[in-house]
Structure formats: structure tokens, C-alpha cells
């Protein structure tokens, strides 16, 4: 009897047992399964997930799924239960401490932008299972390199991602980007099968299983694999959690980014902001504010435009540029118009004073950087002497954009969180206004200006084809 026929027989037996199992406490059953298997954690995960699928077969799709505090099943989407049981969906930043070489970590981060389902943690976990991070490994059936892709798969998805003049599975970037493209392509085919009712299961596990046995075999099985067939998806998912973290990675210079990220491939944020969209948003902008300067500055703040799902990332782009539009007259102005207040931004209490002059620290750039202490702090963070040379914010496009990203990613202003955190955690666009200029505009102080910011934000979310969300004012 073949493996597939054996699996089909096992599946029929599981279906017959399903009705009796539905009325039992799933956590009790799961614990018995884990205890019985003992030294085989991947097998345990497989059985737990299979159990979850059985128990949820007749659940109400669309309602939350999981286990309540008493250990009882809350019916709903099986994928949610699987993610809960297996320790998460791999979302978040890559845990750099778990990846020995930073070159590999950067390649994983950049390649993970190919699609929303495939995160850095997913790629890293699969690499651990496939090669143990050995970029020189030669495996069975002609598989080579860190991702161990079959030759025909690498031939289809491999490119010269490290721009060294050759396409090779033994090149780290080429291999990892091909791995991500293959998984993303598979996920689309798997989703089509699932949407058509031909297979059942959560999308990530199904995609990993399709990677292991092929789409045709997955369709014949009908979805979630039985332990009798293999535990590959669960082996990957069992180590995924260690590669996912909520701690942002250390900033990297543009020179440390992989070539694919710095040229033709997606940069932080640029995956959801094309040059054509930027032109549409700011058709009459000053020559200082170039798209090239914007994308170069983005590489120094990899958390920008890369946090959360696709909608969240697009909303952050729109929120940032919406506030920029209000601060700079839709990028028409490179410095504060009202020169009568230029002398108001020198805080003499600072030990370093105002070496560039009393009036030298007025608003400049996309977000109108002001005050001597902000020029000092931004310059220190960026490695640029802005305290003594503040005019760089209005003469160097990349520096101008960097100061805006510095404030957006690190400063709280009159708020309690950075603008980046406000828009990516669901606090809303209104909280980004509070962080940037809340003392002068929020709580009714400048309602007209608040509405202008909201108007720009709505305009830009329209360009990016994403809903603006709620909590728009402060």
C-alpha cells in the first residue's frame, strides 16, 4: 500500500472518530498526545494540529478560534487555533542573535518582503531545517546551498540577487531570495486550492507541506498532513518562534543591505510606495525632495514601512507623508516661512549652546526639524554634525529625509509614543499628530490644522489603495 493510500485510510478513520472527539476537552486530549509521543516534538505538533482540524471541521468559519481559560475549545478559523498551538505565525522582526552571520540575516529580512505570508522567521526556520545554515551544503538530488532548493525550482526562481555576475544556489542571497519567491508562489496556488474547497488547513502549514511533497500530492491528501505521511511543516514551525521577536534589529547602513534591497528589489517602505505614487502625491514639490533621497534614507530605518501586515505598512507610509505634507506645504518649502520666529529656537540652557547662531535652528526639511537640541540629537544619531551645519537639512536630500525618519521612528514629542508606534500599533493617525505637534494642535487647540493633516492622510491612503482606519484626530 502506498503512503498516500495509507494516509487516505487513516484520514477515513480520523473522520469516523471526529464526532466523538468534538465533545471532549481538546487541551486534555492534546496533553495526552504529547505525553504519549515524548521525544518526538515535531510529531506531537503534527498530531495536535490534526486534532485541531478535526475538532474545528464543523466550527463556524469567521469567528475567533482558540482555547478559553478553562481549556475549552472556542470554535472558528482552524488557522488561528493552529497558530496558537504552535507558538505563533512567525510575524515580527528577525531575531538577529539567532543568526550567526549578519549577511545571512540581512538577506533573510530583505527576501521576506516578497509576500506577507513568508516572514523572516519562516525563512530562517526553514533554512535551519534544510541546511543548518550551511551555505556550502550539497544535498541529495542536486540540491545545493543554504536553502537546499531542488535544481528545477532554483532554475525557475533564482536570480543574481547579490549582483556578482552569476546566478548560483551556493550564493547566500541568490538562494534565500529564490526560496522566498518559491514559497510565495506556492502560497498563491495553495490558497486557490483551499478557496476552492479542495484542501483544508492553515495557509502557512499547507504551503510548507506543498513545498515538501508537491501541490498534486497535497490536493490528493485534502490538506493538513497526517503524521504517517511526514512532519516537515511541523519541523519548520517548531523552531520558528526562536527566530521571531518584537525587538527591532539594529539600524544598518545602506552599504550593509543586500544588493537586491538597495537596487531593483524592495527596500524598506518602497514596496508600497512607487516613484509614480510619490510623483502623484507631490507633483509641485521643491527639487530638494527627491524620491531617490527618500528611498536612500529609508534604508537607514529598516523598521519603517515594514512593520505589520500590508495594510499597516501602507498606512504608515501614508501617515508619514500626510504629516510631512502639512509640515512642508506638500514639500514646497525647505525651511520655515515666518522668519520673524527664527530666533525662538535656541535653548541657551543646553551646554553646547547655539554655535551656528541664534537664528540657525528654525524649521527645516520634510518635518520641519527645529530647536538646537533636536539638531544636536538628530545629528548624533545620524552621524552628521547638524549642530554646526544645520543647513545640511535643506541642501542634502538624503539628510533632509533622514531627519524626518529620525523624528518619526524615535521621538514622542507631546505624545506618549513615537509616530511609528502610534500608527503600527493601532493607536491611529490622530496619535501621530499628537507626537509631532500635539501641543499646538490637539485637544481643540488647532482643529483646522488637524483636519488638514487628516485630509492629506486620506488622500495618500487613497493613492496607496488602503483604508485609513479609525482614530484619525487628536
Active-site residue set: 327
Distance CA 270, CA 289 (A): 16
Contacts of residues 83-87 at CB distance under 8 Å and 24 or more positions apart, as own/partner, are 83/202, 83/204, 85/30, 85/45, 85/48, 85/49, 85/52, 86/45, 86/48, 86/49, 86/234, 86/237, 86/238, 86/240, 87/237, 87/238, 87/240, 87/241
Query: Looking up cell 556578482, which residue turns up?
Result: 164
Q: 209: helix, coil or strand?
A: helix
Residue 28 vs residues 32, 33, 84, 283: alpha-carbon distances, Å? 6, 9, 16, 62
Please give the grid coordinates belonging to residue 192. 486557490
Q: Of 70, 71, 66, 69, which is closest to residue 83 (Cα–Cα)? A: 66
CB crowding 341-374: b at 16 or more within 10 Å, else e: ebeebbeeeeeeebebeeebbbbbbbbbbbbbbb
Q: 66: helix, coil or strand?
A: strand
State whether the Cα torsion 337-339-344-350 is positive or negative. Answer: positive
Distance CA 383, CA 399 (A): 10
- DSSP letter string over 396-426? -HHHHHHHHHHHHHH--TTSSS-HHHHHHTT
Q: What is the DSSP letter of 249?
A: P
CB crowding 394-413: b at 16 or more within 10 Å, else e: bebbbbbbbbbbbbbbebbb
Distance CA 353, CA 346 (A): 8
Strand partners, 138: 144
Query: Looking up cell 478560534, which residue turns up?
Result: 65
Amino acid at each position: 500500500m502506498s503512503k498516500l493510500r495509507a494516509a487516505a485510510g487513516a484520514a477515513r478513520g480520523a473522520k469516523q472518530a471526529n464526532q466523538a472527539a468534538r465533545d471532549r476537552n481538546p487541551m486534555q486530549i492534546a496533553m495526552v498526545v504529547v505525553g504519549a509521543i515524548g521525544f518526538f516534538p515535531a510529531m506531537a505538533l503534527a498530531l495536535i494540529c490534526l486534532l485541531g482540524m478535526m475538532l474545528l471541521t464543523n466550527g463556524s468559519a469567521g469567528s475567533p478560534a482558540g482555547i478559553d481559560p478553562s481549556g475549552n475549545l472556542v470554535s472558528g478559523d482552524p488557522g488561528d487555533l493552529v497558530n496558537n498551538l504552535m507558538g505563533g505565525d512567525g510575524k515580527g522582526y528577525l531575531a538577529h542573535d539567532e543568526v550567526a552571520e549578519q549577511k545571512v540575516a540581512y538577506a533573510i529580512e530583505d527576501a521576506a518582503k516578497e509576500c506577507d505570508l513568508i516572514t523572516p522567521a519562516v525563512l530562517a526556520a526553514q533554512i535551519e531545517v534544510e541546511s543548518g545554515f550551511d551555505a556550502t551544503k550539497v544535498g541529495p538530488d542536486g540540491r545545493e546551498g543554504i536553502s537546499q532548493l531542488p535544481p528545477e525550482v532554483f532554475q525557475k526562481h533564482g536570480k543574481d540577487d547579490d549582483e556578482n555576475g552569476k546566478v548560483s544556489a551556493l550564493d547566500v542571497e541568490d538562494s534565500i531570495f529564490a526560496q522566498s519567491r518559491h514559497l510565495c508562489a506556492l502560497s498563491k496556488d495553495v490558497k486557490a486550492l483551499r478557496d476552492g474547497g479542495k484542501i483544508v488547513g492553515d495557509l502557512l502549514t499547507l504551503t510548507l507541506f506543498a513545498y515538501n511533497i508537491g501541490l498534486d500530492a497535497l490536493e490528493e491528501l485534502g490538506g493538513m498532513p497526517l503524521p504517517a505521511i511526514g512532519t516537515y511543516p511541523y519541523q519548520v514551525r517548531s523552531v520558528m518562534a526562536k527566530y521571531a521577536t518584537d525587538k527591532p534589529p539594529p539600524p544598518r547602513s545602506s552599504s550593509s543591505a543586500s544588493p537586491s534591497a538597495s537596487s531593483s528589489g524592495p527596500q524598506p517602505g518602497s514596496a508600497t510606495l512607487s516613484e509614480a505614487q510619490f510623483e502623484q502625491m507631490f507633483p509641485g514639490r521643491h527639487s530638494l525632495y527627491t524620491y531617490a533621497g527618500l528611498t536612500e534614507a529609508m534604508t537607514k530605518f529598516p523598521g519603517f514601512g515594514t512593520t505589520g501586515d500590508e495594510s499597516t505598512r501602507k498606512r504608515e507610509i501614508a501617515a508619514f507623508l500626510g504629516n510631512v505634507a502639512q509640515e512642508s506645504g506638500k514639500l514646497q518649502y525647505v525651511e520655515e516661512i515666518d522668519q520673524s520666529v527664527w530666533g525662538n529656537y535656541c535653548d541657551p540652557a543646553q551646554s553646547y549652546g547655539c554655535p551656528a547662531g541664534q537664528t540657525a535652528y528654525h524649521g527645516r526639511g520634510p518635518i520641519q526639524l527645529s530647536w538646537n537640541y533636536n539638531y544636536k540629537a538628530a545629528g548624533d544619531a545620524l552621524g552628521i554634525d547638524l549642530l554646526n551645519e544645520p543647513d545640511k537639512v535643506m541642501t542634502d536630500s538624503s539628510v533632509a529625509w533622514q531627519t524626518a525618519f529620525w523624528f518619526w521612528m524615535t521621538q514622542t514629542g507631546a505624545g506618549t509614543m513615537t509616530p511609528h508606534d502610534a500608527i503600527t500599533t493601532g493607536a491611529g493617525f490622530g496619535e501621530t499628530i499628537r507626537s509631532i505637534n500635539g501641543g499646538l494642535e490637539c485637544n481643540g487647540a488647532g482643529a483646522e490644522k488637524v483636519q488638514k493633516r487628516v485630509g492629506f492622510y486620506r488622500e495618500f491612503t487613497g493613492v496607496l489603495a488602503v483604508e485609513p482606519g479609525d482614530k484619525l484626530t487628536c
